[in-house]
Amino acid sequence: MQHIIDRFISYITIDTESDPNSHTTPSTEKQWDLANKLVEELKAIGLSDVTIDDNAYIMATLPSNVDHEVPTIGFISHFDTSPDFTGANIKPQIIENYDGKDIILNAEQNIVLSPDYFEDLLMYKGQTLITTDGTTLLGADDKAGITEIVTAMEYLINHPEIKHGTIKVGFTPDEEIGRGAHKFDVEKFGAEWAYTMDGSQVGELEYENFNAAGAKITVKGKIVHPGYAKGKMINSMYYASEFINALPRLETPEHTEGYEGFFHLHHIEGEVEQTTLQYIIRDHDKTKFEARKALMQKIVDDLNTTYESEVFTLELKDQYFNMKEKVEPVMHIVDIAEEAMKAVGVTPLIKAIRGGTDGSQLSYMGLPCPNIFAGGHNFHGRYEYVPVESIQKAIEVIVKIAEITALKK
C-alpha cells in the first residue's frame, strides 16, 4: 500500500493542468514535467520500446511471456488535470482507517468533506483515503489510472509466473479539454483493443458514453446613445435571453441523470452590441442527439424570422460519439473485464458514462476501448478523494485481464 501511495503522490504533486485556450499539444508546458518522469519510470521498471513523441504521447510495451498467439491489448490513462479547478501546489492528506465521519479538509477555511453530502464516502469506512487540503483538486483523474497501470506492469514483470500476451501502455496529454486522443497513433500503439483506466468508483465498467457537440450562438445588437435609443438600439443581451428561455428548462445537467441528455449553457459573454452563448449538447441516443442540434437551429431560424434579420447565428461542432456502436461488435472485451473484476472480488457496475473519455474517440479511430474504474470520487474540485484500496483493486483487475486474455481461445 505504501508503495502505491508514494507513487500516486509523486504524480499528483506535479502540476499538469491543461488549457483549453492553448493551441499547442500538450496545451501547457508543465505537462512535460510528468510526461518525462513517466518515461524514465517506465524504463526503470523494465518495459520495452518506451517512447515519447513531440506531442508528449507516451507508449511502452510489456512483451508476451507465452509461446502461443495471444491478442495484444492495451491500457491507457491521461496525465493532465482539469482546468476547472487549480492543480498547483497539491497537499494531499492521508486518512487511515476512515471512521465514516466528517473529514476536515481545511479548518481555516471551514472546508469539510462530509458523508452527509457525499454519501459515497460511507462505502469506504475502514479504508485509507487520500484527500485534498481543500484548496486544490487531487488529480486522481487520472493519475490514479496512471498509478494503476504502472504498478500493474511492474507487478507482472516481477511475477513472470503470471502468463500474459503482449501488453501496450499509453499515456496522453489534454484529455480534460477533449483532445486526449486527437494525436494518438493507433497504428503505432498496435493493440487489438484497450481499456482506459479513467472511471470513478470501484467496480465501474463502461462502454457507453454521450454523443457530444459544442454550440456557439452569436447575437448581434446595435449600440446607440441610450438617451436617443428609442426604435434604434438593439440590446443583444435581451435577445440572447430569448434563446436561452426557448430551450427546455428541465433538460439541463442539474435536472437529468442516467440516459437523459441535456443542453448545458456554460459560458456567456455579452454587451449591447454582441452577446455570445456557449453550450454543450449531450445525449446517449444518436437520434435524440441529432434532434437536440436540430432544435437549436430551429430556434435560431424562428427568432431570425421574428426579428426579420440575421440577429442570431449558430455554430455547431460535433466533439465525440457513443463508443457503444464500436464496442458492441466485440463485446468479449467487456466480458473479459467483467470476468476479471469478479475474479478479484469486485462487483462489476456496468453503466453509461455521463461524459466522455479518450476511449470514446479511440474506439472510432479503430481501437475499441471500454472504460474501467480508477477509484476516485468528486473529480475536478476540492472535494476529490480516492480510497487506496480502490487503486489496489484496479491494479488487480489489470493483472487479471492480462491473465484471462492469455488463457482465452
Q: Among candidates 376, 404, 378, 403, which has minimal Cα distance to 388?
A: 376
Query: Are 350 and 199 contacting, i.e. CB atoms less than 8 angstroms apart?
Result: no
Cell numbers 484497450: residue: 194
Rounded Cα gap, residues 376 and 379, in angstroms: 7
Judged by DSSP in three states, 129 sits in strand
Please tell me the total number of residues recorded for the chain in this structure: 409
Binding site annotation covers 335?
no
Q: Which active-site residues does the annotation give?
A: 80, 175
Q: Which residues, listed in sequence order, are joined to residue 312 by a DSSP beta bridge?
A: 219
Binding site annotation covers 141?
yes
Query: Are 336 and 205 contacting, i.e. CB atoms less than 8 angstroms apart?
Result: no
User: How deeply is 55 buried, as exposed, middle or buried, from its count of CB atoms within 10 A (0-12, 13-18, 19+)?
Assistant: middle
Query: Are 296 and 368 contacting, i.e. CB atoms less than 8 angstroms apart?
Result: no
Q: 358: how many CB neighbours lie within 10 A of its CB?
A: 29
Judged by DSSP in three states, 371 sits in strand
φ and ψ at residue 159, rounded to 5 degrees: -130, 70
- Asked whether the CA dihedral 126, 127, 132, 137 is positive or negative, the reply is negative
Rounded Cα gap, residues 198 and 370, in angstroms: 10
Binding site annotation covers 380?
yes
Q: Which residues, listed in sequence order, are joined to residue 214 by a DSSP beta bridge?
A: 280, 317
Judged by DSSP in three states, 387 sits in strand
Judged by DSSP in three states, 62 sits in strand
Binding site annotation covers 302?
no
Please, what is the Cα angle at 384 between 90 and 83, to 5 degrees?
65
Residue ranges for the known binding site are 78, 141, 176, 198, 380
Residue ranges for the known binding site for Zn(2+) are 78, 141, 176, 198, 380
